[in-house]
Structure 1
Amino acid sequence: MKILRYLLTATSLLPASYAMADATTYPVNLTNCGVEISVASAPEQTVTVGQSATEILYSLGLADRVNGTSVWFNPVLPQYAEANDEIERIANDDPSFEAVVNKRPDLVAAQYEWHVGPTGSVASRDQFHELGINTYIMPADCDTKDNSTGDDGTRTAAFSTDSIYKGITELAEIYDVQDAGEVLITDLTAREQRAIDLASSLDLPQDLSAAFWFSSTDLGVSPFVAGQLGAPGYMMEKLGIRNVIESDDEWPTVGWESIARADPDVLVIASMDRRRFPADDIEAKREFLRSDPVTREMNAVKNNRIVEMDAHAMSATMRTIYGLESLAEALSNMSFNE
């Protein structure tokens, strides 16, 4: 009934000319992150390993098909808080293989290959498949990306939101909720364009530059910053901002002295609930930037051009579009007259 109510509400917002999508024909056969999968019927029980997969399933009206979640960076989107409270969070970070299997899922939907992949920290896909459990990895983590390089992987081409829409489309087909998928994509593409249009309407400097700081293993050491081709690179390119970090790695470590020499006009810093590293704390980030003798001399710090963004939006996820919106809005309230 929950799915039916969602679809009735969502489709009532569509123009009269909108054609309903065809029902799924099973089995659904896909090549997903280089692995052939075959889904015989719509999954009834799903465990998610990663907030991206969780929130997309919720956005498709499928919260009642999720019986376990894990790997959270930020609070769930407010509109799904009530539904999320009813679903077991089996781990805030990496769950064990046993904890996932014990939920008896039909499908494990993961955000990152490094959790569920060839050398997954949770398990390999083969380990799940041997137990008759299907796996699906969000395409945003493998399309235009080489995860064999270790750590967070290296982009082989620029991230595009097309990979987000591909994941939504494929999950909607797997669960036979194609209409909900099309409604969601329509909403996200409209939000994406509005953010781009807002930035285009602003009188921004010709060579506006920025850097994105995700976290650091300790305050003062080289931070994890966004490379050229990941989700933050997409945001900067769409809004006409130059990324001062030239690496193609997803999250390279770069010394603060090098960042200070590049002197970005804007610093975007990640806010998260996770506390794996000291710099996960947003207030610790701010205090470091204000007090460190190198960082406090940066123009972005001296002029308070520091933007807080949900960490989850800095990853290649549906929330990247929310991050694009928040960055465009922040730029609209900034002064660049030093």
Structure 2
Amino acid sequence: MYKPFIKALPGVLGVLAAAIALPATAQSTHYPLTLDNCGVTLRIAAPPQRVVTVGQSATEILYSLGLADRVKGTSVWFTPVLSQFREADASIERLADNDPSFESVVNKHPDLVAAQYEWHVGPTGSVGTREQFAELGIATYVMPADCDSKDNSTGGDGTRTAAFSPASVYKGIAQLAQIFDVEPVGARLIASLKARQADAVARAKALDLPEDLSAVFWFSSPDTGVAPYVAGRKGAPGYMMQVLGIHNVIRSDDEWPTVDWETIARADPDIIVIASMDRRRYPADSVAVKRAFLHQDPVAREMRAVKQGHIIEMNAHAMSATLRTIYGLDTLVDALSTMSFTR
């Protein structure tokens, strides 16, 4: 079994050491296990031995829980796998960089399919519906971060009915740990992520940032120069901004609304955070394309953030509701520590 990942920053070593040293209070999972997962009752008869993941979040959580040997196929990748899992990941078949076919998933003979997004295996699943998998005796699990306090029936990336909280990510970690009977490992992983966030927030407070500091998060655009996909106020980027005391200039509750550049320019954010990814579905998936547009477009180049060089690159996966969101806090704080803000 692959060694689980527990990473500590210098400022939180003591916290993590204490958490890891505590005796595990979690009990062994009793099977059959019944869970409510995104409105579906999930029944697990025994620890899954063969898993296919549809989404990088599910993949990296299973790796972090020390379960890489159970993963028989992966798909839907935005960025490279976390560095500590490169060796393990290299030995596991990647079914597709984006959406895999239903047949390719089924052909791996999984007893569990773990998905990051409900639209992959939900009622109108682009890969397959939960009912289709159930007919073949395959259980499906959707990460709670994509369905808790979120309405996915609106189409697209869905709409948040309440602000994202990492509690939904921790819930996913805890439930997967329970499903696989590795609850103490899950508890330690959650403790490490909480400690990492606490450290990032403390460092941000020490920077004495302007109280009205504002930002926009740009994920991508369907074409160069058209209205970009930017982060709504209730998603993972909204959460990062909220805990660090940054104002999101986008007021939509949609996960990734399209907002024209004239509207963004009028808001004139202090910071522009751009997603960095390997995916190339759209031209603006590229950081180089994003940067070139910001400096060349007659509207965008007049924004304060562009003129002052306050453009931050962030791993695209951190902008989704995943454990990488906590890493995104580090990215923001590290970049902010190098900036000065003048109005």
How far 1:18 sits from its partner (Å)?
A: 2.4
What is the aligned counterpart of 1:70 among 75, 97, 104?
Answer: 75
| 1:179–1:261 CA distance, 2 compared to 1 (3 A) | same
How far 1:16 sits from its partner (Å)?
A: 4.8
- 1:266-285 aligned within 5 A: 266-285=271-290
What is the aligned counterpart of 1:87 among 83, 92, 99?
Answer: 92
1:208 is matched with 213
1:118 is matched with 123
- 1:81-230 aligned within 5 A: 81-230=86-235
What is the aligned counterpart of 2:59 among 54, 62, 84?
Answer: 54
**Which residues of structure 1 form unaligned runs of 5+?**
none
- In 1, distance between residues paired with 2:64 and 2:141? 17
- In 1, distance between residues paired with 2:150 and 2:315? 22
- In 2, distance between residues paired with 1:159 and 1:14? 25
- In 1, distance between residues paired with 2:211 and 2:165? 24
2:13 is matched with none
Task: Point out the more displaced range, 101-110 or 193-202.
Answer: 193-202
Task: Point out the more displaced range, 321-330 or 285-294.
Answer: 321-330
How far 1:17 sits from its partner (Å)?
A: 4.3
How far 1:200 sits from its partner (Å)?
A: 1.0
1:287 is matched with 292
**Which residues of structure 2 form unaligned runs of 5+?**
9-15
| 1:218–1:21 CA distance, 2 compared to 1 (3 A) | same
2:244 is matched with 239
Q: What do the CA deviations read for 1:164-216 (whole angstroms, capped 9, x no partner)?
A: 00000000000000111011001000001111111111121110000000000
| 1:284–1:212 CA distance, 2 compared to 1 (3 A) | same
TM-score, length-normalised on structure 2?
A: 0.95
- In 1, distance between residues paired with 2:245 and 2:67? 36
| 1:99–1:304 CA distance, 2 compared to 1 (3 A) | same
- In 2, distance between residues paired with 1:316 and 1:168? 12
| 1:271–1:17 CA distance, 2 compared to 1 (3 A) | closer
The two structures, once aligned, show a CA RMSD in angstroms of 1.8
* Identity among equivalent pairs (%): 67
2:256 is matched with 251
| 1:191–1:257 CA distance, 2 compared to 1 (3 A) | same
- In 1, distance between residues paired with 2:211 and 2:136? 56
Question: Which residue identity lines up with residue 105 of structure 1 in the other structure?
Answer: P
TM-score, length-normalised on structure 1?
A: 0.96
- In 2, distance between residues paired with 1:199 and 1:317? 21
1:326 is matched with 331
| 1:6–1:48 CA distance, 2 compared to 1 (3 A) | closer
Question: Which residue identity lines up with residue 90 of structure 1 in the other structure?
Answer: L
Contact 2:19-2:191 at 8 Å conserved across structures: no
Question: Which residue identity lines up with residue 301 of structure 1 in the other structure?
Answer: V
Task: Point out the more displaced range, 250-259 or 194-203.
Answer: 194-203
2:304 is matched with 299
- In 1, distance between residues paired with 2:22 and 2:28? 18
- What is the aligned length? 336
Question: Which residue identity lines up with residue 294 of structure 2 in the other structure?
Answer: L
